[in-house]
Structure 1
Amino acid sequence: MNRGKSPLAPAESATLAAVLERMFPADERDPGAIGLGAVRYVEDQLAGELNVHLADYRWGLAWVDRLAQERCGARFAALEPQLQDEVLAVFDRDESSDPDGPDGAPSGRAFVDLLDEHLYEGLLGDPRYGGNRDGCGWDLIRFPGPRRTVDPADQELDATPRKGLPSTYEDPFFAAQGESA
């Protein structure tokens, strides 16, 4: 888990935040990708374990901004949500190609898939890794948090599960395993 400086430039970070927020927007009831910490998760991971995808992110975010500029006259982060959705739809439908992309660069659809995968890791992963702030992503899917056992009352279809631990790493068993590793 890296909690250091983002490997992305400020403009790339702004585009990433805007893209992920459109993919999982906040509403009156729930926080979006930014509020749940998914953007922070992705940036932290790009500085660490996901560093193998850093070039794809830099290229893909620049491509999103170029397409937004060409079609709408502004960088993606500066667009109204409806225009942002139109730009993302071009990628989602794989209707755009980047002739300047590096060899082996993903298609527009593949870039959206990569964003989607990392977005949901940030929304629903263990909060210890920087996303799923305060377990709110788990609350959205009614996951109570990690537990070694589940009480029979919590297994009833109409039951609201009681909260588990805030992180797997709060369980003494896992903490002890980490100390011996």
Structure 2
Amino acid sequence: MAALLAASGKAFGDVIRGTQPFSPFDYAPPETLPGGRWYFFSPDEARAVEAIVERLIPADDLSVSGKEAGCAEFIDRQLAGSYGSYERLYMQGPFQKGTPEQGDQSEFVPRARYRRGLAALDAWCRASHSKAFAELPGETRDEILSGLEAGKIELPGFDGRLLFETVLGNTMEGFFADPIYGGNKDMVSWKMLGFPGARYDYRDYVERHNEKLDLPPLSIAGRPEWKTRG
């Protein structure tokens, strides 16, 4: 048979007809939660995170802010799921500072980082500015975030730089992730970049180089204007 195929130079495959022999996410469904509520954050924590993401991604001529894009909701839902507890990572000690190549070596899972870090941030802000972080003007919040990033602000009982790096990374993930996870509302970042999204098949466009396609972005769940008939 191998000799025959080699001689003919052709290979053949079966064509699937009728219903597809699988369902999307049959074996690895994405962790998603309905909107309209906070799953992990307390009201004060939610306000603090919204105040942070609003300054990390401010609104401009290109897009809405991180708050308006739903980055806080994205982070909240991730913390409520397996990411929040690092259940898929090895988290046994001993814990010690690693090299940059080794990456994050903290003993704190994301839920603890946010719970302890946000409480420490508000405590520092109340002691320094007599207000919680979310109550401060935007320029002051920018200065505090810059101080955390540079390691110049020491929060009581928690590493301020670790808090900043964690929230920054999660904010970027929420801004660019598929909207089914709570962020990137109305696919705002994909529209800004011209990213066509989670389309099933790009074969018609593979050879179309240096060409603007203007394809409307598509989420895993479709587009908001799509209606499902019963």
Q: Would you say same fold, with TM above 0.5?
A: yes
Q: Which residue of 2 aligns with 1:177?
A: none
CA shift at 1:150, angstroms? Answer: 5.2
Residues 174 and 184 of structure 2 are in contact (CA less than 8 Å); yes or no, is this contact kept in structure 1?
yes
Cα 1:48–1:153 change in 2 (3 A) is closer
1:44 partnered with 2:77:
yes
**2:71 & 2:203 partners in 1: Cα distance?**
28
Contact kept, 8 Å, 1:123 with 1:137, in 2: the verdict is yes
SS of the residue 1:36 aligns to = coil
Answering whether residue 195 of structure 2 is matched by residue 162 of structure 1, we say no
**What is the rounded CA distance, in whole Å, between the counterparts of 1:48 and 1:115 in structure 2?**
16
1:155/1:83 CA distance change after superposition, 3 Å: farther
> Paired residue for 1:178?
none
Q: Is the 8 A contact 1:8 1:43 kept in 2?
A: yes
Q: Distance in 2 between matches of 1:2 and 1:21?
A: 22
How far residue 11 of structure 1 moved from its aligned partner, in angstroms, is 0.7
Following the alignment from structure 2 to structure 1, what is the Cα–Cα distance between the partners of residues 207 and 216? Answer: 10
Q: How many Å apart are 1:132 and its aligned residue? A: 1.0
Distance 1:109 1:63 in 2: 12
Structure 2 residues not aligned, in runs of 5+ = 1-31, 86-109, 223-230
- Runs (5+) with no aligned partner, structure 1: 102-106, 171-181
Question: Does the 8 Å CA contact 1:153/1:159 hold for their aligned counterparts?
Answer: no
* Amino acid paired to 2:33: N
Query: Residue 129 of structure 2 aligns to which amino acid in structure 1?
Result: C
Query: Percent identity at matched positions?
Result: 28
Other-structure match for 1:129: 181
- Say yes or no: does 1:54 pair with 2:54: no
Cα deviation 1:129-168 (Å, max 9, x = unaligned): 1111121121122212122215449944351531242x23
Number of equivalences? 164
Normalised TM-score (structure 1): 0.80
1:41-82, CA deviations, whole angstroms, 9 ceiling, x for partnerless residues? Answer: 111111112322111101111122122223322111111100
Pick aligned residue for 2:196 from 144, 148, 170: 144
Is residue 70 from structure 1 mapped to residue 127 from structure 2 by the alignment?
yes
Residue in 1 that maps onto 2:150: 93
2:227 is matched with which residue? none
Residue matched to 1:174: none
Normalized per residue, which structure has more helix?
Answer: 1
Change beyond 3 A, Cα 1:154–1:136 = farther
Q: Deviations over 1:77-131 (max 9, x none)?
A: 1111000011111101011334523xxxxx3222211111111111111111111
